[in-house]
Structure 1
Amino acid sequence: MATPNPSSENMLERLFKLSENKTSFRIEVLAGVTTFLTMCYIIIVNPMILSETGMDHGAVFVATCLAAAIGCFVMGLIAKYPIALAPGMGLNAFFTYSVCLGMGVPWQTALGAVFVSGLVFIAISLFKIREAIVNAIPMSLKLAIGGGIGLFLALIALKNAGIIVDNPATLVGLGDLKQPSVLLALFGFLMVVVMHHFKVRGSIIISILVLTAISAAMGLSEFKGVVGAVPSIAPTFMQMDFDGLFTASLIGVIFVFFLVDLFDSTGTLVGVSHRAGLLKDGKLPRLKKALFADSSAIVAGAALGTSSTTPYIESSAGVAAGGRTGLTAVIVGLLFIACLFFAPLAQSVPGFATAPALLFVGVLMIQGIVHIDWNDITEAVPAFLTIVFMPFTYSIADGIAMGFISYALIKLLTGQAKTVPYMVWIVAVLWAIKFAMFGG
């Protein structure tokens, strides 16, 4: 791999302190490519999910690439961490299936909610409020939220693949496993699992591309090409609608966007930094700058036309490849920019080809529930309700609400009210009032 000329190399050294971090230009580029390959599936999956709300597929594709690039550039150049950002899985599902399709909220208003949640993030990131909120929420609920979103994504994946179908007698049932699309989806999932086991980089995107090729060859979908003109972003750019946004229901939506991304982003920042050996005395240096990168990317993404942008746990793949500085994130951002010219390929992917990706991300997200104290029934029950209410009500928000309300009530009725953080009481009471006044 070619190295930059001496003047450029000196500039990179001054900017990213490569020698001090025991890395090099070559290692950082390799790490950036590795991270990109593990997360670039989002440029295909995100437009497909958000377009179900009526948003223009091409515009969302461009917004996804640009929002990811902006987040990576800010993280790399300001916070100087090897952590990549892109529109988050789970948050896009909440945007589409819970808010727009479930509540009937126009996508323009939902983008307004994302924008406001980003502004709230920026405000609390300037102080230490964000850390205080994260620390106040019981670990069992934090882990349960991630697990519940994992099951929610799994349900969406199985439905999109036709593996689970509507059944009037039993609510849901098993689909026709003889259908080519179903068989291909199952094959794709096994492909991802096997490649992940053998640590193949880009296993998810490889699966999507292989299924797309097979589908086109079998005549199940239309292949529109690989490279083409960049689609117009005009249909989604600056389309946020703030009229009627501050009703009780939509304030709850803003809160869920805020809460889910709060745990997701903070946990990812700390987890990836720990793996990279960047924590000092258990704390993350330049945390405020990292939080600013996260929150500013949310605001930029909403303005461009996509759901919340968040740090990706897949960044740990780049860290494992040696990435230690913000140059890794900058490389990822440049690769997302390059993806703008691959819109025809993204539009060629059939729905069932992305189902394995959603299902596998669900597997990764649910793994954290093993750390819940299942022997303490006062912790186990609220965690369980959080997890099961998300897929069974088809709503991440309702799962979070049931978790907080049940946690407060069970602790109160078992004489442990004093152990409940004040933030849990506030959230539980607000959700209870919402249900009492406006129903589900």
Structure 2
Amino acid sequence: MQELSSKSPKIRTTWLEKQFKINEKGSSVKTEIIGGITTFIAMSYILFVNPTILSDAGLDKGAVFVATALAGVVGCVAMAFVANYPIAVAPGLGSNAFFAYSVVIGMGIPWQTALAGVFVASILFMLATVFKVREIVINAIPANLKAAMAVGIGLFIAFTGLKQGGLVIPSESSFVTISNWQDPQVWLTVFGLILTMVLLARKVTGALFIGIAGTAIMGVATGLIAMPSHIVSTIPSLQPTFGVAITSLPQINSIQMVVVILVFFLSVFFDTTGTVIGLAEQAGFIKDNKIPKGVGKALFADSTSMIAGSIFGSTPTACYIESSTGIAAGARTGFSSIIVAGMFILSLFFSPLLTVVTAQVTAPVLIVVGSFMIKTIAKIDWDEFETSFPAFLIILCTPLTYNISYGLAFGLISYPIVMIASGKAKKVHPMMYIAALLFLALLFTMHQMPAK
């Protein structure tokens, strides 16, 4: 028994090296573990933010908590064994806000049908990855419009945070106005925002998670949030959301759902592609300005988790930019993603903490993440009117209409019109004309949809 015990570490190390090439990539098992834990801490806020957002759309909060964790497990494991990248995957911010506030609440589409739309978009994303058509889609949409999509969604998320945190309220004269700052709940949001800002400014690892935890603790300490009777419990049931995406597929029978699926597909497509390339560059995987072959495998891994996530009952997954914290800590292989998956599994037993993560607790994170996404505005060429004006409409209309699809509609409809007027109709990709017609049909049919 002693002889077997002494040999077991060597066997494990050999298997890890063969599977993940840890030493070959200049890393170590210890470094990969530290990198994985670092990444999880930085992105773990999604475990509490995602259920909070999707519960607004009518989904069971406990079920979404489990679905979020399981989607993260599937995504991280797939990323580890398929691509061997130190990139974590989980349901993304932006697509969940679009799902809840634009599709379900704004358009009046049942959440069950919306989940079916996520499933279909996931299949399309998988096919686009397998048949390598992502280059066609990327080239079809001008760079200015791609950047504007991220900016518009960032403003939308930030505005959602301001609204849910009570910092802005409706106004008959000016549509929105500043809130009543005598409300203690507003001050809880302000406390959380200041705390998160300070942590980020100090470059503290896991600043968003610590900001959530600190705000929740302050809420409990001041009596604004009720303390749960226990912290550890059995895993909540997944039954309220599991498989609903499949059984609701027959409900996808309208132009509105076609557009919804298109927006889900495009948002995840560009978000994941850009994030993977950026992280691959940070990790040193890009040589001679050439994208590594592993990017295609990484996209495949993400699409796998997106399909699984929709079946579990969550919105589209995405490669997390917070993986950069783990990479900065030295992670270079998929073994760090395995560590993240393990942390997601452990988190399943802490669902009672959901009761202390109120809208005021998550609002600061939404505001800060919005600021992260708006930085792509620097990539827009404002001297090129044919694409900068449609980009401007996307940025302007997404938060003001409080609907991501409306913002995209104004931009993608105006783009071919401006190009035709400037004598550059032949430079417009046929896919852009199709997209414009789809979004035009959406705007003309919206009045037929009940508002919630």
Deviates more, 1:81-90 or 1:185-194: 185-194
Counterpart in the other structure of 1:425: 433
Asked whether the equivalents of residues 165 and 174 of structure 1 are also in contact (C-alpha less than 8 Å), the reply is yes
- Provide the TM-score with structure 1 as the length reference: 0.97
What's the CA shift for 1:28?
0.7
Counterpart in the other structure of 2:334: 326
Counterpart in the other structure of 1:396: 404
What's the CA shift for 1:417?
2.0
Counterpart in the other structure of 2:365: 357
Inter-partner Cα distance in structure 2 for 1:202 and 1:191: 12
- Secondary structure (helix, strand or coil) at the match of 1:173 reads strand
Give 1:10-409 correspondences, 5 Å limit: 10-224=14-228, 225-240=230-245, 241-281=248-288, 282-409=290-417
Asked whether the equivalents of residues 405 and 428 of structure 1 are also in contact (C-alpha less than 8 Å), the reply is yes
Asked whether the equivalents of residues 162 and 367 of structure 2 are also in contact (C-alpha less than 8 Å), the reply is yes
Inter-partner Cα distance in structure 2 for 1:75 and 1:106: 32
What's the CA shift for 1:216?
1.1
- CA offset digits 1:101-132 (Å, max 9, x no partner): 11111111111000111011111111111222
- Secondary structure (helix, strand or coil) at the match of 2:56 reads helix
Q: Which amino acid aligns with 1:66?
A: L
- CA offset digits 1:365-414 (Å, max 9, x no partner): 00110111112222221111001111111111111111111111111111
Runs of at least 5 residues in structure 2 that lack an aligned partner in the other structure? 1-7
- Secondary structure (helix, strand or coil) at the match of 1:165 reads strand
Q: Which amino acid aligns with 1:364?
A: F
- Provide the TM-score with structure 2 as the length reference: 0.94
What's the CA shift for 1:439?
5.3
What's the CA shift for 1:188?
1.3
Q: Which amino acid aligns with 2:171?
A: N
What's the CA shift for 1:135?
2.4
What's the CA shift for 1:137?
1.3
What's the CA shift for 1:433?
3.3
Inter-partner Cα distance in structure 1 for 2:423 and 2:181: 51
- Secondary structure (helix, strand or coil) at the match of 1:55 reads coil
Inter-partner Cα distance in structure 2 for 1:411 and 1:394: 27
Asked whether the equivalents of residues 255 and 438 of structure 2 are also in contact (C-alpha less than 8 Å), the reply is no
Size of the aligned set, in residue pairs, is: 437
- CA offset digits 1:329-355 (Å, max 9, x no partner): 111111111100110112221210100
Asked whether the equivalents of residues 244 and 313 of structure 2 are also in contact (C-alpha less than 8 Å), the reply is yes
Q: Which amino acid aligns with 1:154?
A: A
Asked whether the equivalents of residues 279 and 285 of structure 1 are also in contact (C-alpha less than 8 Å), the reply is no
Aligned-pair identity in percent equals: 43
Q: Which amino acid aligns with 2:278?
A: G
Aligned-residue RMSD, C-alpha: 1.4
- Secondary structure (helix, strand or coil) at the match of 1:201 reads coil
Runs of at least 5 residues in structure 1 that lack an aligned partner in the other structure? none
What's the CA shift for 1:437?
5.1
- Secondary structure (helix, strand or coil) at the match of 1:166 reads strand
Q: Which amino acid aligns with 1:230?
A: I
Q: Which amino acid aligns with 2:61?
A: H
What's the CA shift for 1:280?
3.8
Q: Which amino acid aligns with 1:253?
A: V
Inter-partner Cα distance in structure 1 for 2:103 and 2:437: 21
